[in-house]
Structure 1
Amino acid sequence: MPRSHLTGVFVGSRAVADGLLSVKQLRERSYRRLVQGVYADPALVLDHRLRCQGVALLLPPGTAIGGHSAAAWHGAPFAGPHDPVTVVRPSTVQWKGPREVRVHRSDLDATDVEWRDDVPVTSAVRTAWDLAALESRGTAVAAIDAMVRCGAVSQDDLSAMANAGAGRWGVARVRKAVLLVDPRAESAPESRVRVALVVADLTPVPQYEVRVAGEFVARVDLAFPEARLAIEYEGAHHFTGDQIARDDARLERLRAAGWRVIRLSASDLRDLDGVVARVRAALGL
């Protein structure tokens, strides 16, 4: 008899073939569809790693979860639950995957792959390379910032990787991204804003401590100290409960210290050119 309920992540057709589930149960019960043909217990938290676990059940030997998806295991869990899962495959493996998967063809050595949570993922250094080669510059740098910050890779690792990559596909993009990495950033949005400013020839200082006569006033996300200009990214938690009052009090302390503050939110990330223009105007450039 089929079980009353399947837990974990499973391939629907295999579960039916093994008698663990009927086609009717698969269709009528509330199993969460992760990618085409792969399902999960709805009690499991839906995030990008869970989707990767589903894709891993379909992967042929010699392939691995990579890029922005693998970064979730290396300190940069920024890919969303509905973002495509990135898979790296060598040219010797012919596999397209389900439509929810983005397949990147590239040489993949055994040393480039490690197993995490029963999922083959690219190593931290290889993940950093693929991030820089495949993703937009801001997205790539944000993820690599986080990977360096948590110790998954070092800046020396990144420099060695970039210097040894002559002739490899994407090396120019990789080298540009590596030069922008700064582990002082404490969030992906902060990294993205900083990258947009640096590319525009502006050089903010990340996580700058504002002090007056030696007394601590506040630490700001990005700062132009000589101009006493701060840029602050405010995520959703800044607009809830007591945090609003704390932020207002902090802003008043900065203003009293002679600082101006540009406050950014998620909507500003959709127009980083506009953010750069605001900062330029505030700097009188």
Structure 2
Amino acid sequence: MFEPSPFHPNRPEIVAPVRVDARGLAGPTQAQARGRDWRRSSRGLYVPSRIDDERVEQRIVEAAAVLPTYGGVTGWAMLRWAGDRWFGGLNHDGTPRDVTLATAGLHVRPQPGIAVCREKIAPADLTVVDGLRTTTAVRSVCFEMRYAPSLLAAVIALDMAAYADLVSIEELGAYADEHSSWTGIPRCRDAIPYADENAWSPTEVEMRWAWTVEAGFPRPLCNRPVFDRSGRHIGTPDLIDPVAGIVGEYEGSLHLVGKRRARDLDRESAFRGVGLEYVTMVAEDRPHPAAFIERLRGTYSRARYEPGDACRWTLAAPARWVPTVTVDQRRRLDDVQRHRLLRYRRVG
């Protein structure tokens, strides 16, 4: 029986859909396609039934199989394919998001799990990533932001694309300026001032949003390493207001048990030990952050606002420290540095 090859050497677990082949050489025969060993991925295309159709990358490849001669996968799906694990391909209710195909007006028949964008595409906006035709990262992020359901969602999209170093805020801003007449560009532009290149998770972006936009406090810095006066690294908090001396941390369900909880308590103690105030956002705060905002207000009321030379902590890194807070800084790292310096960034 015909056995499909891996889609790409870098994606050995992914296979491309194939058409029925009467001789069974380039695909299943008609009889085989009707059997239990194959499933239909889209009209006229099949993959072995053992292939997991819930795997995000497999869904993307199956959708891309119906691309016309010009176009590519765009939006969240391109960003996921390019390696950004924060684009999980699910709606808030847990249902799969459609994979969007940018077709420049070329016809694609409507099919479940596939959305079509018929906007024009310049050749420079198309690329190939591991054998898959896609739009470029900056166009894909711009698309995701333009059609985001909220301003916060647009900010999260840009922050998480920057997290994976797929696009910088400057690159996205320049691209938006070049396409000022496009649908949704106002939302994209409105999101840019709220973005940060060093957020490590969507929940951190939500906490920063609640901190600044909803509570009205000064914008904190994201994941800046904190040192004592001898240059010892105390920790890297999710957020820090260096003027007030306040550290903010998000604690999801994984933070509440076992060794992880003990480590979090040690971190809190270390920050407090050098005079920093500490506030926590938990999972229950995300849909309705009023309780977190009240805790934040209480924290600001206790904050010391100590002048820099009086603090027992500092954000000034010792000479040996390699900064990684911007996309440009991270792009300049070699492979060894990336593994050593970025391995602590959370991915789930």
Match of 1:225 in 2: 242
CA distance in 2, matches of 1:274, 1:35: 47
Structure 2 unmatched runs, 5+: 7-14, 90-95, 302-348
> For residue 59 of structure 1, what is the aligned residue in structure 2?
67
Matches of 1:75 and 1:124 in 2, distance apart? 11
Please say which of residues 159-168 and 40-49 is displaced more in the overlay.
40-49
Aligned CA distance change for structure 1 residues 10 and 212 (closer, same or farther; 3 Å): closer
Q: 2:28 is matched with which residue?
A: 21
Matched, 1:107 2:98: no
2:139 is aligned with 1:139? no
| SS class of match (2:186) | helix
| 8 A Cα contact 1:96 1:103, kept in partner | no
SS in 2 for 1:15: coil
**Structure 1 residue 114: deviation in Å?**
0.7
Task: Report the Cα distance in structure 1 between the residues aligned to 2:116 and 2:159, rounded to whole angstroms.
Answer: 24
Q: 1:1-285 to 2 correspondence within 5 Å? A: 2-3=1-2, 6=4, 8=6, 9-11=15-17, 14-15=19-20, 19=24, 20-21=27-28, 26=33, 29=36, 39=47, 42=50, 46-81=54-89, 82-90=96-104, 92-135=105-148, 136-200=150-214, 201-202=216-217, 203-214=219-230, 215-235=232-252, 237-239=254-256, 242-272=259-289, 275-276=292-293, 278-284=295-301
Q: Residues 157 and 79 from structure 1, CA distance in 2 versus in 1: closer, same or farther, beyond 3 angstroms?
A: closer
Alpha-carbon deviation of 1:100? 1.1
CA gap of 1:62–1:266, structure 2 versus 1, over 3 A, is: farther
Contact 2:161 2:167 in 1 (8 A): yes
Residues 76 and 147 of structure 1 are in contact (CA less than 8 Å); yes or no, is this contact kept in structure 2? yes
Contact preservation (8 Å) 1:138, 1:196: no
Deviations 1:53-105 (A, max 9, x none): 11011122223211111112445332325332122232x32335322123333
Q: Are residues 15 and 258 of structure 1, via their aligned partners in 2, closer, same or farther at CA, if it must alter by over 3 Å?
A: farther
SS of the aligned residue for 2:238 comes to: strand
**Residues 89 and 267 (structure 1), Cα distance of their counterparts in 2 relative to 1, 3 Å cut:** farther
Whole-Å separation in 1 of the counterparts to 2:37 and 2:248: 45
Return the letter of the residue paired with 1:89: T
The CA deviation string for residues 168-220 of structure 1, in whole angstroms up to 9 with x for no partner, is 22221111122222112122321233234333343121113344445542220
Q: Percent identity between the aligned chains?
A: 25
Larger mean CA deviation between 30-39 and 101-110 belongs to 30-39
Q: Please give the secondary structure, in 1, of the residue aligned with 2:223.
A: strand
Larger mean CA deviation between 184-193 and 21-30 belongs to 21-30
User: Letter of the aligned partner of 1:95 in structure 2?
Assistant: V
8 A contact 2:154–2:187 mirrored in 1: no
- SS of the equivalent of 2:66 reads coil
- C-alpha distance in 2 between matches for 1:109 and 1:263: 46
Q: Counterpart of 2:76 in 1: which secondary structure? A: helix
Distance 1:252 1:151 in 2: 32
Choose 47-56 or 14-23, whichever is displaced more: 14-23
Residues in 1 aligned to 2:264 and 2:28: alpha-carbon distance in whole angstroms: 53
Q: Is the 8 A contact 2:73 2:100 kept in 1?
A: yes
Q: Number of residues paired by the alignment?
A: 280
Q: Which amino acid aligns with 1:119?
A: L
Structure 1 contact 211–218 (Cα < 8 Å) conserved: yes
Greater helix content: 1
**Is this contact kept in 1: 2:162–2:197, CA < 8 A?**
yes
TM-score, scaled relative to structure 2: 0.67
Question: Please, which runs of 5 or more residues in structure 1 have no aligned partner?
Answer: none
Deviation at 1:45, TM superposition (A): 9.1
Distance 1:101 1:244, change over 3 A: same
Aligned equivalents of 1:260, 1:64: Cα separation in 2: 48
| Counterpart-to-counterpart distance in 2, 1:269 and 1:238 | 15
RMSD of aligned Cα (Å): 3.3
